[in-house]
Structure 1
Amino acid sequence: MNHPYDAILLVSFGGPEGMDEVMPFLDNVLRGRNVPEERKREVAHHYEMFGGVSPINQQNRELIAALRRELDAHGIDLPIYWGNRNWHPLLPDTMRQMARDGVRRALAFVTSAYSSYSGCRQYRENIQQAQLEAGPEAPRVDKIRVFYNHPGFIEANVERIREAFAHFPEERHSDVHLIFTAHSIPLAMAECCDYEAQLLETCRLVAEKLGHGSWRLVYQSRSGSPAQQWLEPDIGDYLREAKNAGLKDVIISPIGFISDHMEILYDLDTEARAIAEDLGLNMVRARTVGTHPAFISMIRELIAERLDPNSQRRALGARGPHQDFCPATCCLPFNPSKRRLHE
């Protein structure tokens, strides 16, 4: 196939893989942010509970291996590189390796399905900074579109939730309340992107495929000053609301994430589960899409549609497929005009 790309680049968050890596990793994550030392130590303890190992790196290795098999099966002969924002393999190091290997232009798959500053624009900034550090021989990198409404993403989430429903007797399925979670972001950031609207569309599409009308989108893992407004409700607060409303059975689906990393293991499997048990709620947590075959097939489709402009661009719902290239004003961290009004 005649196309301009000669590599695939997987871009992700990164995570520590041992106790000695936890604090250096958090230093990278929190660099430039005014986070108290005690808060950093608190987060470090979350990792220490799991031996200092975040599952995200291993899950990315498994995703790359599954994608390699999928690309090979469909005749897409492009090498796959991997670079992280916050921990090894770091994106600048990967970019230097790509330059040494003679890669001229790559397609980047970012492990975030939605448009937001931290999930889209910041990754593009990370790529640009890595290109500067790699020097003039660094390859051009084009980001693959966000995929919140792609049929493969929806199908994979639907099947993960069906697995969770199997933990309840069939006669109780109609009474199970489905709680979708995503990472909360500041309201000032949410006003500058389609994050919340895209999340709601994903939830709607998944619930529609399931034929399940009892659901709600809530948020988790917020950080920062308590005085700053973030997207709500928080998962812990909502579980208490659910109990007060008389609900007994809940499924938590982390729809905002694609892998079971630390914010799933601690914020949901540890904190939220403890709240649910204290309230007497029957809680089952659905798995993220991970390496579900429909999700891996989706990634291959997203690559193929950029290799061949005549390929079908699949998307569900009225919003249609997202654009390939983001405008300069896309996913800003805050609204500059509102910032000036407050200053």
Structure 2
Amino acid sequence: MICTSVVCGKETTSNLKCPVCLKQGIESVFCDQTCFRTSWSQHKFIHPQEDDQPYNPFPSFNYRGDLRPTYPLSARRAIPKHIKLPDYAKDGKPISEIKNDRLGKIPTLSPKEIDKIRKVGKISREILDIVAGHVKPGVTTDELDAILHKECIKRNCYPSPLNYYNFPKSFCTSINEIICHGIPDQTPLKDGDIVNLDVSIYYLGFHSDLNETYYVGDKAKANPELVRLVETTREALDLAIAAVKPGLAFREIGNIIEAHATKNNVSVVKTYCGHGTNTLFHCQPNIPHYAKNKAIGIAKPGMVFTIEPMLNLGTYKDITWPDNWTSSTQDGKASAQFEHMMLVTEDGCEVLTARTATSPGGPVARI
């Protein structure tokens, strides 16, 4: 058995069970009373309400758009014993990242390391494409999370977001006004929505990171404002990638993205940025997406990092839901994001998470 505590997740032979879960027929076991008590504030949300109906756990919060969280969350998905774990998988604390942040160095990878992370990038694309193939009206984001988790385990991969600073799910699903870090729950996708699927995996000792925004149903593709937003974001990422080569100052990437965003009358989120990715989920360099930023560093062969612009139809400002993860636009207008992980080469860059000829989604003609 796996301890149900969101801050543990270890295998256990304990018979200590949550009494509420026991009454409701939910399987949950805890190592000891400490695990049970410390995780109660989050664990309780897997319990259905008395009327067994989905509910909003933060009814008094001032939501800025139409989207609401739909609880209870499903129980934490188990990781088989043979899967190699990142250092935060059990207690939620990425100690290696925290120590590395103090150094402020931008890593470069050896040829052997590059071979490994290239494989990881390819697998993460494969997983994203499988999950994206299930995007349609009526499917819930938790159902998509279950599909992703299964595909990760099938390939002996650990879903990097799971328990990263206690994030409860295996990937992020951000609908409409949600900028990033949406938690998969019982919310069904609707015809006319857009949804971002953010996939990160840990395999062969390396992380990968990529995401795309998808149209849900034909109604979304017929919405001129949504198409302008999504396609501008897609194009902004492509323009930024085209500029990556040895000698590029990382601060220039934001100038390229904001110029294209401004041309198309959308704003650039400033709170979140691209980042280095390798044996650590997040590390140097930081890649801001807005103009006139003060990012440190110059691109050199062997560096691996992400560019992941988040563009909004309205204000660039964000607000975080009470779950301490979900980031929404302050005015409730839609947001879109695209992300690739790339390797700086001797004369340009290699996109390690590139789309394939069969990848779902892809550009839509502007209306």
What TM-score results when the alignment is normalised by the length of structure 1?
A: 0.24
Higher strand share: 2
Higher helix share: 1
Q: Of the two structures, which has the highest relative contact order with CA contacts closer than 8 Å and spacing of 6 or more?
A: 1
What TM-score results when the alignment is normalised by the length of structure 2?
A: 0.23
